[in-house]
A and B are shown apart, each in its own frame.
Chain A
C-alpha cells in the first residue's frame, strides 16, 4: 500500500552569518516510516530538524504537516502542533520533579484559576511512566535522583506520550546504553505503527540500516538524495555522505606480528588505580609506538581511566607512573610531562566554548611562551596547528562555539599537537563526528604512532577499536575483563563477549 505524505519541507533555508547551513532543502516524509537523515557534521541535518521543532526560527521555506503550514516558536509549541524531538544533550532540568520536567511549558492543562493541580500532574506523569514500563521512576522525585540514562528516558516519554505526528530523534542513541537504545527503538517502532513518522538522525550506520525505511543524505547544507534502505549498504551510504568513494584506508591496514615484535618502551604504568564506585584495581602499561584501546559498555568505568592518567581524577588511589619515575597526581604534572587528554565531554571539559580558537589551541602551551604573551606569536602558533588539522574556520579569532563538532575536535587535537605531547589519552575521539573527519583523525593517529608516541583510545565504538588499536582492554563493571591483540581475525563478537 502506498504510504501517504505526512510532512513536506519546501525549500527550507537557513544562514548563520556567512555560513549557509541549510540550502533550500526540500524533503518528503511519509506516514508510517522511520526516515533517517544522515550526513557529515556541518551537513545541516540538526539545523533542519531544529527549525522543524521550534528550537531555531525558520530562515525561509515552509514545513507543511498534514496539509497545514507549521512554524513552531518553541518546543512546546511544536508539541502542540504534533512535532516532538529528543535531543542528544540533557533536556531535563535539575531541581524540578520528574512530573514538572515532563510537563514543563505545558502546565496549563493542570491549571484551574491560576492554581496548578500538582497532584493531578503527578498522577498523570506516573501513569505515563508506568505505561512505558518505567514505573521505577517516581513522578514526584526530584529528577536529580536519576542518572543520565533515566533522565533521557523521561525525555522520551515527555516527547512521545501524546503520539506526535513527527518524532525527531537527534543523535540520541550515542548517549544511551543498550537498554536505553532498545527502549528508544521500541518507541520508534510504535510511532511508525501508529502511521506517524520518525526522523532519525544518527552517525551509526548499523542502526540506520536496521531502523530506517528510507534514508536522506545531506551534504554541506544541500540535499543529495533519498534512498530506500534495502537498496544501499554502509559503504554506499558513506560514499553518498562524503561525495567520494571511501577507500580501504579508513582504519589501519597493518597487523604487526606480536610474537616477533617487542613492544616499545613503556611510557605510562598504571598500577592498582581505583576510583570508588567507578574503577577497581586497574593496572596496565602503555608503550611508545602503540595505540592501546579500552572499550566496554558506557558505564563500565573506562572514561574514568583516562581522567586518572591525566591527573584529573580526584578520588583516585593507586599510581600512574611515567618512564622517568614521575608520579602523575595532578593535571599540571601531566601536562608538564607531555601527556595530552581529550575528554568525552568535549564542550564542557575539552573546550573553552566561549573563547577563540586561538586561546583554545594555545592555552597549555602558553606556559612555555614567557611571562608576557606576544599576540603575534600566539596567533601564528594557533594558526599553524589549526591549519595542520585542516580546521574549517574563518580565522583563529573565531569563537569555538561557532564550529561544527568535527572541527571542535580538530581544535582539541591541534592543541596537543602544538604542545608536542608524547602521550595522548583520547576519550571518544571521533564521537559525533562525520566519517571524513574521522578518517583524517585516524590517519593522524596512525602517523603519530609511527612517530613513536603512546596513544590510548577510550571508545564505545567497537569498530574503531578493532580498526585502530594494537591492543584492546575490555572493561566490565569497573575492572579489566579481557585483553585482546590486534589481528585480522579479531571480531566484534570477541569484544562484545567480554563487555556484557
Chain B
C-alpha cells in the first residue's frame, strides 16, 4: 500500500495521540481503582498473581499446583505468568498482573534488580508482593533492600538456604557411606560441577555453598583434599546435560562425583542417562537439587547418590502471606521501615531408598498438607506460620498424618 508522507504523518499523529490518551485513561483508571488499598472488601474475590520462570517444568509445575490447590480451598482466583527468568519479562509480568486487577502477587524473580521495578509497580498499584524461592540480598543489593523496607506493599520472602544446601550436598558427597550402593561407598574427591544458566541467582548461591563445603573439608583434611571443577553450563536441555557429562568424563576419567546444580530436571536426566550409556552408573556419585520422578529407581541402581528437594511448598507459604495481607491480617500487612516477613524454608535431603520411600509416601502420594491444614495455615499468625514452614520435614508430615 502506497501512503504519502503527509498521510503517514497524519495517521501516525492520530494513532500516537489516541495511544497516549488511552494509556492516560488506563493508568489513572487502575491507579484510582486500587489507590486506597488492595485488601479485598467483603464480597469481592481475592485475585493473586503468580510470576514464575516456567509453570510447566518439573519444579514449576509443582509450585503452581500447590498454589492452585490452596487457592481452590480458599476461594482465591489465581493468574500465572511465565517469564523464563528473563529480566525484562520478569518486570513486565508484574505490570501485567497488576493491570489484570490482582490484589497480590507472588514472584520468583531472577535477579534482585528486577525487584526495584516490581516493588515500585506494586506500590503504585497498591498490590501486595512476596517472593518465593527468593530473597533480596541486603549485602549484594542494599538499594533494593532499602526499597523493600520502605514499601507498604512488600510482604516478604520465602526462600531456602541455598548456601547451606550446597554445603550439605558436598558434605554428603565427600563422606564415606557403607550403606550406599556398592560402587559409591567411598567419599568423592574429584567433583565436577554442571550448572544451567549463566548468572542465575540460585546457582550463584548454591555454588557458594559447594565451594564453602569443599573449603571446610579441605581445612579439616588437608592431606585428603577435594577438588571442585568450575561450572560448565548445560542450560535446561537434557541433550546438553548429556553432552557436558560426556565431556567431563572424556577429559577426566578419574572424576568420582558429579553435581548437577539444577535446571528444571532435564539436564539431570540427560546426565544420568549419559552415565548409563557410558556404563558408569554406580561408579560416580551424582548429586542434585529438585527430585527426579524416578529418584527411587536411581537410588536403587546407583544412578543418583543424593538429592535435595521437596521444597515445593515454599510458594504455598508465600501465597499464604500475601493472602493474609489481602485479607487485612495486620500481622502480615507490611509497614514502612521493615523488610517484611522472612521464612527460611527447609530442603528435604534424600540419600537412600528408604528415605525416598518416606518422602514419596508423605509428599508425593499424599499431599504434605491436607485441605484442612491449609485452611488452618491461612488463618495463622506469622510466628505460627513460620514455625510450621521451618519444621516441615518427612517426620513432621508423618507426625501430622499419623
Contacts and interface: CB of A to CB of B under 8 A. Distances in A.
A and B directly contacting (CB within 8 A): yes
Interface of A: 356, 373, 375, 378, 397, 399
Contacts of B5: 373, 375, 378
B2 A399 contact: yes
B6 A375 contact: yes
User: Which residue of A356, A375, A399 has the most chain B CB atoms within 10 A of its CB atom?
Assistant: A375
B47 to A, nearest CB: 47
10 contacts: A356-B2, A373-B5, A375-B4, A375-B5, A375-B6, A375-B9, A378-B5, A397-B2, A397-B4, A399-B2
Contacts of A397: 2, 4
Interface string B1-21: 010111001000000000000
A378 B5 CA distance: 10
A228 B2 CA distance: 47
Nearest to B6: A375
A373 B9 CA distance: 11
A196 B383 CA distance: 103
B4 to A, nearest CB: 6
User: Which residue of B2, B4, B5, B9 has the most chain A CB atoms within 10 A of its CB atom?
Assistant: B5
| Majority SS at the chain A contact face | mixed
Contacts of B4: 375, 397
Given A375-B5, A375-B9, A397-B4, 7 more contacts: A356-B2, A373-B5, A375-B4, A375-B6, A378-B5, A397-B2, A399-B2
A375 B2 CA distance: 15
B182 to A, nearest CB: 58
Contacts of B6: 375
Nearest to B8: A375
Interface string B216-252: 0000000000000000000000000000000000000
Contacts of A356: 2
A21 B318 CA distance: 76
Interface of B: 2, 4-6, 9
Contacts of B9: 375
B13 to A, nearest CB: 13
A40 to B, nearest CB: 28
Nearest to A378: B5
A397 to B, nearest CB: 6
A356 B9 CA distance: 17
Contacts of A373: 5
A375 B5 CA distance: 7
Nearest to B5: A375
A169 to B, nearest CB: 35
A375 B4 CA distance: 9
A373 B4 CA distance: 13
B286 to A, nearest CB: 50
Contacts of A375: 4-6, 9
Contacts of B2: 356, 397, 399
A375 B9 CA distance: 10
B3 to A, nearest CB: 10
Contacts of A378: 5
Nearest to A373: B5
A397 B8 CA distance: 13
A356 B2 CA distance: 9
A356 B6 CA distance: 13
A84 to B, nearest CB: 36
A265 B98 CA distance: 74
A113 to B, nearest CB: 38
A378 B6 CA distance: 11
A492 B9 CA distance: 56
Nearest to B3: A397
A380 to B, nearest CB: 13
Q: Which 9 A-B pairs have the closest CB atoms?
A: A375-B6, A375-B5, A397-B4, A399-B2, A375-B9, A397-B2, A378-B5, A375-B4, A373-B5
A418 to B, nearest CB: 17
B320 to A, nearest CB: 58
Contacts of A399: 2
B41 to A, nearest CB: 53
A378 B8 CA distance: 15
A466 to B, nearest CB: 43
A399 B2 CA distance: 9
A148 B19 CA distance: 53
A399 B3 CA distance: 11
B121 to A, nearest CB: 36
A316 B317 CA distance: 73
A476 B252 CA distance: 68
A403 to B, nearest CB: 15
A356 B5 CA distance: 11
Nearest to A397: B4
Nearest to A398: B2
A345 to B, nearest CB: 25
A366 to B, nearest CB: 12
A242 to B, nearest CB: 33
A174 B9 CA distance: 44
A378 B2 CA distance: 17
A378 B4 CA distance: 12
A375 B12 CA distance: 15
A315 B5 CA distance: 38
A397 B4 CA distance: 7
Nearest to A359: B5
A304 B260 CA distance: 63
Nearest to B10: A375
A423 B247 CA distance: 67
A115 B169 CA distance: 61
A128 B159 CA distance: 79
A397 B5 CA distance: 10
Nearest to A395: B4
A167 to B, nearest CB: 38
A325 to B, nearest CB: 39
Nearest to A354: B2
B244 to A, nearest CB: 38
Nearest to B9: A375
B338 to A, nearest CB: 53
A485 B2 CA distance: 50
B14 to A, nearest CB: 16
A480 to B, nearest CB: 46
B10 to A, nearest CB: 10
Nearest to B4: A397
B322 to A, nearest CB: 51
A113 B202 CA distance: 59
A139 B4 CA distance: 49
A373 B6 CA distance: 10
